[in-house]
Amino acid sequence: KHKTNLTMLSRFSRVARSLVTTVRTPNTVVRPSAAVSYFSTQELVLGKGRGKTSTGLTGLAVDYDAVPKMVVKYQALLDTMASSDMPETYHYRTVVEQMCRYRIKACLDFPEDPEMVEELCNCGQVEELVEQADDEMEVLQMILQNKWWEQIPQEDVVVEENPDPSQDAENVTWEEEPIDLKRKE
């Protein structure tokens, strides 16, 4: 009996270790506690929540802890932007901050309902949203490294509101007559 208990404890520790993933950002390491949500007393419904067996997308496995991972990863995006020298008025930053805050709020409001998080975010399955956070971190690192906000001209750009289309082809000579796509002879 003692040996059986040790075997069960060993299996539990392997499962618990495999559920705890490490999220690395440039300045922090965060370990979300996935084991707590793994052992739930809720009834399983096939195809929903913990009863989900497939994402239906090749190469994207079901992740039962996608919602807590989303919170960690989107918060990492916010923290990275906050600790950077990117201006708060830079359009990319404002849009990404709004998206991150909205998705974090959806996750915190419905931590046990990934389908509701998917519906609120309206950008795919929660597993895809986790990958989107990873992709956004790569884009953010690239923008921070290149300081693209400094390459935008500060002077006002003149926009012609009502251009005259008759002047678009002025002084253009055609070597061949333009092909009329409507007329096929």
Predicted confidence at residue 55, as pLDDT, reads 77
Predicted confidence at residue 56, as pLDDT, reads 84
Tokens matching residue 151: 């390459």
Predicted confidence at residue 64, as pLDDT, reads 87
Quick check: 171 pLDDT over 70?
no
pLDDT, average across residues 101-128: 94
Residue 41's pLDDT band (boundaries 50, 70, 90)? low
Least confident of 23-37, 49-63, 79-93, 160-174: 23-37
Which of 131, 118, 130 minimizes the C-alpha distance to 48? 118
CA–CA distance, 151 with 72 (Å, rounded to integer): 31
pLDDT, average across residues 72-100: 96
Predicted confidence at residue 57, as pLDDT, reads 82
Predicted confidence at residue 117, as pLDDT, reads 94
More confident residue, 90 or 15: 90
Residue located via tokens 């990958």: 131
pTM exceeding the 0.85 threshold for the entire prediction: no
Q: ∠147-103-18 over CA atoms, to 5°? A: 95
Quick check: 129 pLDDT over 70?
yes
CA–CA distance, 89 with 150 (Å, rounded to integer): 12
> What percent of the chain has pLDDT above 70?
58
